[in-house]
Amino acid sequence: MIENLFFQNAHLCWPVIFIGVVLWFLFVWKEWRKPLSKLFVTSCLISLLTIIAIAMLALKPKVGSLSNSVGVVLTDFYQEEQLDSLMKVEKDLKLYQYQENLSIQSKLDSLRTIYVLGDGIAPYDFWQFENRSVSYLSNEIPKGVTNINYKQINYVGEFMIVRGNYNVPQEKNSIVLEDASGKAQDSVVFEKNGSSNFVLKLPLKSKGKFVYQLVEKDSVGTILSKNNIPIHVVEKQNLQILILNDFPSFETKYLKNYLSSLGHKLVVRSQITKGRYKFEYLNTERTPIYTLNRANMQNFDLLIISSNAYRYLSKQTKKDIKNAVYLDGLGVFLQPDASLFRLSEESTNLKFQPTLNSEIVLNGFSNQTWDTYRYSFVDGPRIEKIHFNSNQIASAYKRWGNGRIGTTLIQNTFQLQLAGKQELYRDFWSEIISKISKEKTIAAKFNFSSMFPLKDEPLRFELNSSYEHPNVLQANGNLIPLKQDIDIPSKWEGVIYPLSEGWHELRLKNDSISTATMYVTDSISWTALRRHEKRLANIRLFNNKTIVADEKVQYKSINPFWFFAIALLGMGFLWLRPKLMQS
Amino acid sequence: MKRQGLEHIRWFQKQWQSIIVAEVLLYALSLSFLSYVLSLSIVVTILIFCGVCIGLFLLKKPWQFSLQKTAQYIDGQLDHIENSTELFLKPEIELTNIARLQKIKVSRLLQTELAQLLPQRKMWNSILVLLVCLLVGGVLLQFQVFQKSDSTSDFPSDNEVIVFQALDSVSSKENPPQIHNQILHITYPAYTNLEPRTSLDMNLKALEGSQVAWKLKFDQDIDHVMWVDENSEKAMRLAKESYLFQTKLKNSHFYNFKFKALNGLSYLSDLYAIEVIKDELPAVEIINIKQFTTFEIGDSKVLNFNVVMSDDFGIADAFIVATVTKGEGESVKFREERLAIDQGFEKGSRKLNLSKSLDLDALKMEAGDELYFYVESVDVKTPKANRARSETFFAVIRDTATNNFSVEGTMAADLMPDYFRSQRQLIIDTEKLIADKNRLSKEDFNATSNALGYDQKALRLKYGEFMGDEADSGIQVTQDIDLETPADDHDLLEEYTHDHDGSNEHNLVENHEHDHDHDDDTGTENKVDPLESYLHNHDDPEESTLFTESLRGKLKQAMAEMWDAELHLRLYAPEKSLPYQYRALKLIQEIKNSARIYVHRIGFDPPPIKEDKRLTGDFTEVTTIQNSDEVKEPDDFEYMRKSVARISEIIHRQASISQDDRDSFAAAGNELAVLAIESPVKYLHVLQELKLLSEKHQTSMETLKYVQFELLNALPKTPENPIKRETYQNKLSDLILKEITSND
């Protein structure tokens, strides 16, 4: 019992005891000086009691008792049936309505077990439920778009691909991607017993920030829900490419024309004869390159070199290329020819095996048969495929430090252009070149916790930055406090509370390039998705770890009236006794 | 008394007549009013009025109402007059006393009852009809049921009237100037003979070269009006309170009006499209004649044919262009003549069907000459007329004096040997021999067969030469074949030898640089200089030939067939030889056909190889070349893309539209106009909004968003383009990469 007692004003404990003891001794000494009466001992005891009662008034003692009650926190969209079942099992059930942002903590203190019903607790209120024994009885997955995936930052000329999942679609209902003026760009109609997944595509034609709408319609075209799809389209950065050939080839000619027409900067060197070259500088200034070294390769993002030319490079040049790839992140694309398969494995890190096929159909290009060398890549853990089918890898690359080296086994792709299949040709090469080229290293990268943040709700973000002390500013110039990761010093965390809907921007102080944009949506958008996400977060938090809370002790303060009464009676007795004794 | 009675009757007659006239006129008026409502033409209305009047007058005949008739009518109508009206018409003297009494009595009655007898109800009927017609016609006129669409009224209907929008939102409170009247006047080019047209609709579609004049009148005085198209702004001229502007149509585009009110505010109208129709090319066709016509030298050499021509605005001129060729090969001569089509040709006709005859003799054509002709027609378009020509037709006067074989008329040089004919000759001879078998002696038969075999050999050898064969897989011809032939047959053999086969030899080998005779000297040549056959590259049958690869295969096959044919001929079995000969002939025919393709290939003349420089390893003249070029393809929609991005910025930052933005919107409008001309329905509205954006100072966010997404939709897809991706590297990712690649 005594362990269940504690004082609310425990910090006053020693002074109170000291004063109490002094007082009592004074009283005893005063009584002692008088002729000892019969009631001396009684008086001393009563005075002690009175002093203790007054001390208790100051110290405010509390007494703990074990709590056994069970509570239910009802959140949005809870199911009555679940509550009824719970009530049947637990007799003395206490019900609490959960409201976001309001404290419920004190009410939970008296509960041994807590059940959460409905969509769950908002993640920013989880702290109130920490270290409590909570069971989350989840709802069913809400109807609507419960999963969405697309890149919010895209490049001009690419397709924005929106993949998503619609939970329990109605037959003939459709999902339409619309622009702000309500024009449909792409749509999917759900079939009976069909997949609930959908993919929508949108060609991106200009840079800018746009808000598209993902509209859910029923079979007669009535709009059931509208969700914002914000995208930020940025301009592409041109590549600097060096092409080295030991003789001019058609493949190079067409590749060169294709890349230069899109504005990429090219230096093409074809050997005419020993020591004589033909240099072509497309969209770039004249800087002849006779010998390759790490310094002059630093300007380039990609080196396209014919396998035969690569084969006869000097040892030093090969070492320089390797360094440029390893350390500077250069991409190397080996143009295939017969000598590719005679290159030693250590010089390229790529392994090939002979096959019987001279033609191949690639995944993603199902209508086209491609001419290939009678070889295939040997698949390995570090081979990263670009073009392939189930049996064979036709184009692939491997990482070499920061850079990449890769090749393709498809030949005569220029014939596609002659056959009028420009689109196919472009798709093929742009994929290879994008994947192998050097990547631009950025100084800071932001990651937001939510794709669709809401106004006035906390939005967590993670910042990876190479700066020692990054300062993140909002558009209005407010500085946002950051928390550094304990293990990775370049990782920081912060929280913002967007004040309005629309586009928002975060930027780094002293670095105008490193910015992050996000779109704060209205609260009607993505309700199903948000509900589902909240549900999942609750399941993750409450149902994966079972916190068996210690037996809950509930502390109650003792009503000070009793102490007051004791003190009053005690003092009354001590005051009245001499008077009564005299008379 | 008498007079009184008579006067009454006269009065009645006059009244009656005038009622009928009034009735007729009222009916005519009703009908003519209705006809005006229907036709809206005064002439038609008057005609109908007159017609109806005449018709009804003829029907009613009011002039025939004499006093006599009137009296009879009154008698018939009023019983208590007791048929006494006529008494008034008779002179007093002729009347008996009773009659006079009766007359007096009736006279009183007439006085009171005649007025009631008048057919007034008929007039009321006609008035009612008139009222009904007026009502119906009035309603129809009010709702313009029969209003013609191209009414020349100067008051445009609501959807045609030019609507101006203020470029400054403040002005909306004031009373802005409005269009009072608007006219578009189109004058077609003179050659079209089309009447000028006026229109109230500002969207116009007219022929290229038409003069278009706009006339605008405002209800208030304004400062100035501009006529704006994508390239320029032109001030409209003020004349008699109207603003005028005229231009000549060259190409399809959009335009609008812009004016400045006296209070300094600017207004901009909607966009209107000018669609220019091009004058079509005349169509010319020659009919009733075959593409190739051949005449014998003795025929009457007249070509009869019809020329059918048509054009949308008329044909100004037409003529036959005839080219006569004389001679052949390198000595061919051309003569071109222009022959007018005079007969029946009417300048400016839209459709013509003329018959024409060409006399080849008049063109001074001789045997072997060829005529190519076509008809060219020119339309009336000015300043630059459209021209069109028909297909070319051919006529040849056959020359029986020469019968040169030619493989292909267009060949510059005839490289094919005459031997190709010989296989057919051989077949004919062989068939003749088989047919004559019974009549010939065995010796003669055998000798002829052998002779044919010899010819077959000669033919084969000639082909061998073409192949460059000197000893073709054992089919080499040696002298010993002659040994097989009986000595006494030698004359016969010569007799059947096709001499022309040999005589054409020089033609055959002129491109073939063999300077030795294979027929005779192959054996000895090998003996004399065995190395020579190795040195001469073209001795190799795979290398030296006039023919391409596929041709060689066929030729070889043909020679094998000939070899078999010869074998059977030599064995005196011409029947067995025939199938081989036919097969050989078929193959040779095929070779002939493929030669047509081959001929075009010999046109290539490779540059001469400088033998003295070859393989010397001298690079002094070979230098490193450096070319630099800017080859980025220009973007046709640069400003449209810029505008989309800029609008996105404006919306995002709530920025205001600067002058630079307006310029870029105007440029984007010009880019979009190119697309809008192709499909105006799709882009006209956004083009209009864009135009307003480029002029106005303030606009709503909705309009900006609308323009932005419409521009995005109008933009074509950009080609797939490799990108430079972004990456963030920190110590952790570096460590991972290092760990992964550590095995290499």
- Across the interface, of A179, A238, A442, the residue whose CB is closest to B728 is A442
Chosen from A152, A206, A255, A304 to mutate, greatest number of chain B CBs within 10 A: A206
- Using alpha carbons, list the distances in angstroms from residue B132 to B27, B29, B47, B137, B222: 11, 12, 21, 8, 48
Of residues B722, B728, B744, nearest to A239 (C-beta):
B722
Q: What is the pLDDT of residue B539?
A: 44
The answer to whether the CB atoms of A399 and B741 lie below 8 A apart is yes
Chain A residue with Cα closest to B643: A206
How many residues does the structure list for chain A? Answer: 583
Runs of H (alpha helix) within B529-573: 532-535, 549-570
Give the pLDDT confidence score for residue B469 in this predicted structure: 56
Would you state the CATH architecture of domain A68-139+530-551?
A: 3-Layer(aba) Sandwich (3.40)
Between B150 and A528, residue with greater pLDDT? A528
More confident residue, A294 or B158: A294
The whole-angstrom separation of Cα B538 and Cα B467 is: 10
The answer to whether the Cβ–Cβ distance between B645 and A207 falls below 8 Å is yes
Closest CB from B627, B631, B723 relative to A155: B723
For residue A129, give the amino acid letter: F
Which residues 260-319 on chain A approach chain B with CB closer than 8 angstroms? 260-264, 272-286, 288, 301
Would the pTM of this model clear 0.80, i.e. be above it?
A: no
Q: Using a CB-CB distance cutoff of 8 angstroms, which residues of chain B are in contact with residue A274? A: 619
Best of A158, A205, A382 to disrupt the B interface (most B CBs within 10 Å) is A205
Looking at residue B114, what is its pLDDT? 73
Q: What is the pLDDT of residues A33-85, one digit of tens each?
A: 877 777 788 888 999 999 999 998 888 888 877 767 888 999 988 988 888 98
Are the Cβ atoms of B630 and A430 closer than 8 angstroms?
no
pLDDT at B508: 41
Alpha carbons B23 and B21: distance in angstroms, whole number: 5
- Residues of A with CB below 8 A from B723's CB? 155, 157-158, 236-237, 430, 434
Residues of B in contact with A399 (CB under 8 A): 737, 740-741
Bond preceding residue B383 cis, omega within 30 of 0: yes
CATH of A444-520, one of 3.40.50.2000, 3.40.50.300, 3.90.1580.10, 2.60.40.1930: 2.60.40.1930
With contacts defined as CB-CB under 8 Å, which chain A residues touch B619? 273-276
More confident residue, A91 or A190: A190
CATH fold of A240-436:
Rossmann fold (3.40.50)
Listed residue (A263, A260, A201) closest to A229, CA to CA? A201
Q: Where in chain A is the domain with CATH 2.60.40.2550?
A: 144-236
- Cβ-in-10-Å burial (0-12, 13-18, 19+) of A358 comes to exposed
B624 touching A, CB under 8 A?
yes
Alpha carbon distance B407, B423 (integer Å):
16
The answer for B 594-623 residues in CB contact with A (under 8 A) is 619, 622-623
- Name which of B628, B641, B648 is nearest A210 (Cβ-Cβ): B648
Can you give the C-alpha Rg of chain B in angstroms?
52
pLDDT tens for each residue of A17-29: 999 999 999 989 9
- pLDDT at residue B158 in the model: 61
A residues 401-440 lying closer than 8 A (beta carbon) to B: 401-402, 422-423, 426-427, 429-431, 433-434, 437-440
pLDDT of residue B157: 59
Q: Which domains does chain B have, with CATH numbers?
A: 2-142 (no CATH), 164-277 (2.60.40.10), 286-397 (2.60.40), 419-601 (no CATH), 634-744 (no CATH)
Beta bridge partners of A494: A461
Burial category of A80 from C-beta neighbours within 10 Å (exposed 0-12, middle 13-18, buried 19 and up): exposed
CATH code 3.40.50 region(s) in chain A: 68-139+530-551, 240-436
Closest chain A C-alpha to B301 CA, distance in angstroms:
51
8 Å CB contact of B712 and A442: no
| Contact call for residues A244 and A309 (beta carbons, < 8 A) | yes
Candidates B651, B702, B728: best to mutate against A (most CBs of A within 10 A) is B728
DSSP one-letter string for A183-216? -EEEEEEPPTT--SEEEEEEE--S-EEEEEEEEE
CB atoms within 10 A of CB A284: 19
Q: What is the pLDDT of residue B466?
A: 67
Chain B window 719-738: which residues touch A at a Cβ cutoff of 8 Å?
Answer: 719-732, 737-738
Q: What percent of chain A has pLDDT over 90?
A: 34
Is the predicted pLDDT of residue A381 greater than 60, yes or no? yes
**CB spacing of B730 vs A466 below 8 angstroms:** yes
Is B626 part of the contact surface with chain A (CB cutoff 8 Å)? yes
- pLDDT bin (cut points 50, 70, 90) of residue A413 is very high
Of B619, B705, B721, nearest to A276 by CB-CB distance is: B619
- In the chain, the amino acid numbered A209 is K
A 315-374 near B (Cβ less than 8 A): 326, 349
Non-local (6+) Cβ contacts of A575 within 8 A are none
Residue B744 is predicted with a pLDDT of 59
Name the residue among A157, A183, A259 with its Cβ closest to that of B718.
A157
Q: What are the φ/ψ torsions at residue A407 (nearest 5 degrees)?
A: -155, 175
Among chain B residues, the shortest Cα distance to A269 is held by: B626
Higher pLDDT, residue B155 or A268 = A268
Among A261, A272, A286, the residue with its CB nearest the CB of B632 is A261
Q: Do A429 and B722 touch (CB under 8 A)?
A: yes
- Chain A, 384 to 403: residues with Cβ < 8 Å from chain B are 399-402
All residue ranges of chain B with pLDDT < 50 are: 1-2, 148-154, 403-421, 471-545, 597-601
To test the contact with chain B by mutation, choose from A151, A156, A177, A181 the residue with the greatest count of B C-beta atoms within 10 A, namely A181
In the beta sheet, which residues pair with residue A352? A377
Residue of A278, A280, A430 with shortest CB distance to B721: A430
- Provide the 8-state DSSP code for A410: B
Considering only the beta carbons, identify the residue of A205, A402, A502 that sits closest to B712: A205
Please report, as a single letter, which amino acid is at residue A428: F
pLDDT of residue B179: 84
Residue A549 has what pLDDT? 56
Q: What is the largest CA-CA distance in chain A?
A: 140
Contact between chains at B622 and A237 (C-beta distance less than 8 A):
no
Contact B337, B363 (CB under 8 A): yes
Name the CATH topology of A144-236: Immunoglobulin-like (2.60.40)
What is the residue whose two structure tokens read 């052998």? Answer: B450
**Beta carbons of B115 and B161 less than 8 angstroms apart:** no
Cβ neighbourhood burial of B22 (10 Å; 0-12, 13-18, 19+): middle
Minimal Cβ distance to A401: which of B645, B723, B737: B737
pLDDT of residue B379: 87
Token output for B663: 């310029």
Question: Mind telling me how many Å the CA of B159 is from chain A's nearest CA?
Answer: 25
**Cβ contact (<8 Å) for B625 and A464?**
no
- Residue B325: name the closest of B367, B272, B380, B288 by CA: B367
